[in-house]
């Protein structure tokens, strides 16, 4: 986070050790043992075929392992690009097949997060909630992605008090990506409640407190655009200054 004396939501893929792990290929057994692999395939029931060294293959029945993880597939990178380009209808169409292909291979939460945000961006909160509930049924290493989706879902269903309570916790996160997301979420809540000036203040916190680099870049740029649009709507002459910020 930038210091206050130095010169700000949607796609959270947190840069934690989780990211590094997901470049690997492994299975965590029911006993908690980690088995590295060269490749892993899953059938429709969640049974795995694990290639340990490219030659020996070990089967794992569904329920005999906690989670299987493979490096990020190209199809998921393609969904992320659609999200970044705001091609939400294309993302919604493509996501179900990707979810089915990788839901047992450590990527159910990532695909569901992208799909849910696309549903929310296109005014379909019920479908977002349905997707979120489905994703909860599959193994994941932590709840960061789905926590983000859950909060967006709460806003989409106008459960503002519950979303606000969780956002307050995230603002204190040591992870700048989560904190920036939380400020933007509060801006969305204020905006949905018709509190435009208050929404501007929340968006500006993202603009002023965080550098526009890496995974925070998109959240910060979204906050800047939202703030500028609202300030112009409110005839605030300082809108041009915020618009000029990079």
pLDDT of residue 37: 94
* Mean pLDDT for the stretch of residues 128-141: 88
CA distance 215 to 87: 19
pLDDT of residue 142: 66
Instruction: Band the pLDDT of 5: cuts 50, 70, 90.
Output: very low
Strand partners, 39: 51
Class of domain 1-18+142-246 (CATH, top level)? mainly alpha
Mind listing the pLDDT tens digit for each residue in 47-73? 999 998 878 899 999 999 999 999 999
pLDDT of residue 20: 37
The pTM of this model reads 0.72
pLDDT at 130 over 50: yes
pLDDT of residue 201: 97
3 state SS for 93-109: HHHHHHHHHHCCCCCHH
pLDDT of residue 150: 84
User: Residue 230 in 3-state DSSP?
Assistant: helix
Whether the Cβ atoms of residue 59 and residue 50 lie closer than 8 Å to each other: yes
3 state SS for 4-15: CCCCCCCCCCCC
Q: What is the largest CA-CA distance in the chain?
A: 68
Mind listing the pLDDT tens digit for each residue in 175-215? 898 899 999 999 999 999 999 999 999 999 999 999 877 77
Q: Which among 162, 204, 181, 139 has a CA at the least distance from the CA of 11?
A: 181
Instruction: Band the pLDDT of 129: cuts 50, 70, 90.
Output: confident
φ/ψ of residue 25, rounded to 5: -130, 120
* Mean pLDDT for the stretch of residues 119-146: 85
Domain ranges (residues) in the chain:
1-18+142-246, 24-70, 72-140
* Mean pLDDT for the stretch of residues 76-99: 94
Mind listing the pLDDT tens digit for each residue in 6-45? 222 333 333 333 343 446 899 999 999 999 999 999 999 9
* Mean pLDDT for the stretch of residues 88-104: 97
Q: Which among 86, 124, 83, 26 has a CA at the least distance from the CA of 98?
A: 83
The average confidence (pLDDT) of the chain is 86
Name the percent of the chain lying above pLDDT 90: 63
pLDDT of residue 12: 37
Name the percent of the chain lying above pLDDT 70: 90
Mind listing the pLDDT tens digit for each residue in 157-170? 889 999 999 999 99
């Amino acid at each position: 986070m930038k210091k206050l004396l130095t010169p700000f939501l949607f796609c959270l893929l947190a840069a934690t050790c989780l990211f590094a792990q997901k470049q690997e290929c492994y299975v965590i057994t029911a006993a908690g043992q980690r088995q590295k692999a060269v490749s892993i395939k899953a059938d429709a029931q969640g049974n795995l075929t694990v290639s340990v060294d490219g030659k020996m293959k070990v089967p794992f029945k569904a329920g005999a392992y906690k989670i299987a993880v493979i490096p990020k597939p190209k199809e998921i990178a393609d969904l992320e690009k659609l999200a970044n380009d705001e091609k939400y209808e294309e993302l919604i169409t493509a996501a179900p097949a990707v979810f089915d292909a990788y839901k047992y291979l450590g990527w159910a939460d990532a695909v569901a997060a992208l799909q849910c945000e696309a549903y929310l961006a296109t005014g379909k909160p019920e479908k977002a909630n349905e997707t979120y509930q489905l994703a909860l049924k599959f193994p994941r290493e932590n709840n960061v992605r789905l926590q983000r989706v859950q909060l967006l879902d709460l806003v989409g269903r106008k459960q503002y008090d519950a979303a606000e309570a969780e956002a307050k916790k995230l603002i204190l996160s040591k992870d700048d990506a989560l904190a920036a997301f939380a400020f933007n979420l509060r801006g969305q809540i204020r905006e949905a409640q018709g509190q435009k000036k208050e929404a501007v203040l929340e968006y500006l916190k993202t603009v002023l407190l965080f550098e526009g680099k890496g995974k925070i870049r998109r959240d910060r740029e979204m906050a800047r655009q939202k703030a500028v649009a609202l300030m112009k709507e409110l005839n605030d002459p300082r809108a041009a200054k915020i618009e000029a910020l990079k």
